[in-house]
Chain A
Amino acid sequence: MILKYIGRSFKRGCVQLVRRPMYFLLIVIMPILCCWFLMDLVKGGSVQRVPVGIVDLDNSSLSRQVSLTLNGLQQVNIRHRYANFAEARDAVQRGEVLGFFLIPEDVEEHALGGRQPVVSYYVNYAYYAPASMQYKGFKTMSLLANGAIVQTALRTVGLPNEAIASSLQPYQTHVHALNNPFTNYNFYLNSTFVPCFFSLFILLVTAFSLGLELKSGLSRQWLKTAGDSMFLALVGKLVPQTVLFTAVGWFIQWIMYRCYDFPLNCNPWNMLSAMFLLVVANQSFAVLMYCFVPNFRYGTMLCTLLGMVSFSFSGFSLPQESMYSWVTALGFVMPIKYYFLIMVDQALNGIDLYYSRFYYAALIGFTILPMLLSWHLKKECLNPVYVP
């Protein structure tokens, strides 16, 4: 008997899926396209050759040396030379360059005279990622300029080269970017943003397909097909989507870890299972929202709002410990947060599965939660009201 109901509601779910081309578009085409978009956009890996300007008011051999060296750095690219500060500022405002290096008058003379001249670099922090790179480049440059003068001075008094090196830079720092040694922006950005994007699609599609039942007034028939069991009705409706979404999710993971060589330092099954759990957890999350607000408009809006904001409050860009604590707490409401933590532990850092046990458990928990509240959705399904 129960098998008959499962079969019937499953068939209904499949028919609905096939009859609207939009589902295919939103489940298969768009997630893959968006994945490709993000991957292709930042395929360069790191921000380099930031367009900058230089204002050389000194025009000495030293200042020329500085601008030559500056252009040789990987981080910046001198696009223009400006005659004065006002011109350079105008260029920044016009967006021609994102910052400039200012060498004031008589730098060489003051430097050799020991009167500590000041060079300044103006960095446009309105463009965040290039600004950090410029800072790195300009900072290196000013250190090099400093070093060159000190080196000359020390050599003239007869210090050996070795002693000069240790005097110029007494402390050498080794910064180890664990498991992403080249600080590849693609690895960082897309191992989080692509799954987050994907879960937005899952939320939207699930919310939409549930809402349609209420809108069309067919929800009673939907329940009847499943023998008046809300659980079976949901399973029949959502499992065909789960299958498609999981397949697409795994395909996206294959692109990330095999085509683009994202760090994968764990057993691949850990990530594959996490992706499956992410799909189911997001579907359940959308169902849960409908259990709270069984209304097409508000249910979908809630999913949309949370899905969109989860890009921010899950702590991909501003880390969670820097946010307001209630925002951090809000982040733990969404399944993607747990996937992110699993990804960091497993794929990126490759630590023992033991440390991620709670995150997997949380994803499973999301799946169980709507079962406890589905009576509310069932009540609404028996008396559907559509508010346009």
Chain B
Amino acid sequence: MTEKVKHSRLFLWFIQVLRVCGRELLLVFRDEGVVIFFLLLNAVYPVLYSIIYNPEVVRDEKVVVVDDNRTQLSRDLIRRMDATQEVAIVGYAANMQEAQEAMHLKECYGILHVPRDFGQSIGRGQQAHVSLYCDMSVMMRYKAMFTALTSVTQAMGNEQLAYKVEPVVGMGGSIIESRQVAVGNPAMGIASAVLLFILPLVLQQSMILGIAMLHGGSIERRRRNGGRDPMAIEAGPAATIIGKMMCHQIVYVLPVIYVLYYVPLMFGFPQYGDFFQVICLAVPFIIAVSLMGQTLQAFVNERESVFLLFVFSSVVFVFLTGASWPRYLMSRLWRVVGDCVPGVWMSNGFVRMQADSALLSQVSHEYWMLWLQVPVFFILAYLVERFVNRRRYRSWIAASEDNPRILTRIDLAKNGVG
């Protein structure tokens, strides 16, 4: 290597970046709290969520029958309802009062009422009515009972129609067959739908929490040491940010592969995408999240306040991805807020790749938006590092030169002493 290269500013800057990166790695693995966030959280949380939602669909929802008709036809309807995947008939009640009592005691979540003239109406060639009363505390229960009743009455209706119409016009009950094809999530389950949105967010949140905790630790060291952090490497703001970002990339190689590949594999979630392309999407995501974390760390004053400041935001971000309420129905404000979060783009891209087997070119919008966030968050992180953090450190150093105990005293005052 020539002398010229060795002393060029770029080379020195690059060495600084590497030193920051190395020191950050050391700090990460020396700090049990950060290791828990960066590694353990990613290992445990996705599995926990997956186990909770793993049953996927509602099976055998408990329904009580009030059969005022007691004919062969009403019994047939009830038998068919019981045979559906969604509903189980747990008993007969003599009247609606009795059925209501069962519902209040949580012995059932729905009441199927067959009125007195049910069989007779069909016999007379009139419409027969049947009522279902659903408990509305959980939407999936309602959906299950509703689907079961609809499909049973439709099947019975088609048989009736065929029986009546065929002799007249010579065609079967159903003229046009219709067929639903569930794409993306053939199990039609809630786990396969929701978890794919949550997985990238777990990566994002764990990283932000870890970064903020590292920063909190650094702040605490500065408070104890008169505004200086003995563990920090002297480097410019840009070198510090990029060095730390490189460290986070290195640490997150394994969590990304585990969370985005092995967790869906373990639980059999849709995995139709090409994993190499998923990784390509994850690269700008992880960079953007690291920079976002370094922006948000400005709010942290001590290690443990990360719990207060960032944990609840996970719930907000889950909603912003559109996992529960679709994004196209959100107001412009919430769409824009969502657009600022790397996890929102990543989740939507990831879902379409894994569930709908989209190629990277088909989620190019998400991909480029993630890359766009990289410079934006870099600028924000730079501004924070240069004009918030470093200014604060300088003022601390100046203050503790006048009075060496001032920083600890402020801390004590906050805890209610003095």
With an 8 A cutoff between CB atoms, is B331 at the interface?
yes
Residues of chain B contacted by A150 (CB below 8 angstroms): 161, 165, 175
Residues of chain A contacted by B329 (CB below 8 angstroms): 44, 47-48
Residues of chain A contacted by B161 (CB below 8 angstroms): 150, 167-168, 170
Q: A150-B161, A167-B161, A208-B307 are in contact. Are A119 and B177 (CB under 8 A)?
A: yes
Residues of chain A contacted by B153 (CB below 8 angstroms): 171, 173
User: In the complex, how many residues of chain B place their beta carbon closer than 8 angstroms to a beta carbon of chain A?
Assistant: 120
With an 8 A cutoff between CB atoms, is A65 at the interface?
no
Shortest beta-carbon distance, A199 to chain B, in Å?
11
Q: A123-B183, A319-B141 are in contact. Are A157 and B52 (CB under 8 A)?
A: no
Q: A300-B304, A318-B55 are in contact. Are A174 and B131 (CB under 8 A)?
A: yes
With an 8 A cutoff between CB atoms, is B36 at the interface?
yes
With an 8 A cutoff between CB atoms, is B415 at the interface?
yes
Residues of chain B contacted by A189 (CB below 8 angstroms): 324-325
Q: Are A127 and B308 in contact (CB under 8 A)?
A: no
Q: Are A132 and B143 in contact (CB under 8 A)?
A: yes
Surface stretch bound by A, among B6-14, B290-298, B348-356: B348-356
Alpha-carbon distance between A9 and B57 when the two chains are bound, in angstroms = 51
Q: Are A120 and B176 in contact (CB under 8 A)?
A: no
Q: A176-B131, A207-B307 are in contact. Are A322 and B178 (CB under 8 A)?
A: no
Q: Are B54 and A324 in contact (CB under 8 A)?
A: yes
Q: A114-B171, A125-B193, A177-B134 are in contact. Are A166 and B315 (CB under 8 A)?
A: no
Q: Are B178 and A119 in contact (CB under 8 A)?
A: yes
Residues of chain B contacted by A315 (CB below 8 angstroms): 138
Q: Are B325 and A185 in contact (CB under 8 A)?
A: yes
With an 8 A cutoff between CB atoms, is A339 at the interface?
no
Q: Are A297 and B171 in contact (CB under 8 A)?
A: no
With an 8 A cutoff between CB atoms, is A93 at the interface?
yes
Chain A interface residue number, banded: 35 or more
Q: Which of A281-309 contact B (CB under 8 A)?
A: 296-297, 300-301, 304, 307-309
0/1 per residue, B101-135, Cβ < 8 Å to A? 00011000100000000000010011111111111
Shortest beta-carbon distance, B261 to chain A, in Å?
18
Residues of chain B contacted by A188 (CB below 8 angstroms): 136, 138-139
Q: A120-B178, A308-B311, A312-B52 are in contact. Are A93 and B140 (CB under 8 A)?
A: no
Residues of chain A contacted by B168 (CB below 8 angstroms): 154, 157, 159
Q: Are A318 and B312 in contact (CB under 8 A)?
A: no
Surface stretch bound by A, among B58-66, B279-287, B373-381: B58-66
Q: Are A30 and B312 in contact (CB under 8 A)?
A: yes
Cross-chain contact of A95 among B177, B186, B352 (Cβ < 8 A): B352
Residues of chain B contacted by A173 (CB below 8 angstroms): 129-132, 149-150, 153
Q: Are B58 and A319 in contact (CB under 8 A)?
A: yes
Q: A114-B171, A176-B133, A178-B134 are in contact. Are A304 and B125 (CB under 8 A)?
A: no
Alpha-carbon distance between A130 and B299 when the two chains are bound, in angstroms = 37
Q: Are B130 and A38 in contact (CB under 8 A)?
A: no
Shortest beta-carbon distance, A225 to chain B, in Å?
9
Residue of A nearest to B320 (CB): A41
Alpha-carbon distance between A20 and B316 when the two chains are bound, in angstroms = 24
Q: A19-B413, A170-B127 are in contact. Are A117 and B55 (CB under 8 A)?
A: no
Q: Which 8 A-B pairs have the closest CB atoms?
A: A142-B178, A126-B184, A126-B355, A125-B185, A93-B358, A128-B193, A16-B416, A171-B153
Which residues of B are interface residues toward A (Cβ below 8 A)?
31-33, 36, 48-49, 51-55, 57-59, 61-62, 77, 104-105, 109, 122, 125-143, 145-146, 149-150, 153-154, 156-157, 160-161, 164-165, 168-172, 174-186, 188, 190, 192-194, 196, 217, 220, 270, 303-305, 307-309, 311-312, 314-316, 319, 322-326, 328-331, 333-334, 348, 351-352, 355-359, 362-363, 365, 411-417
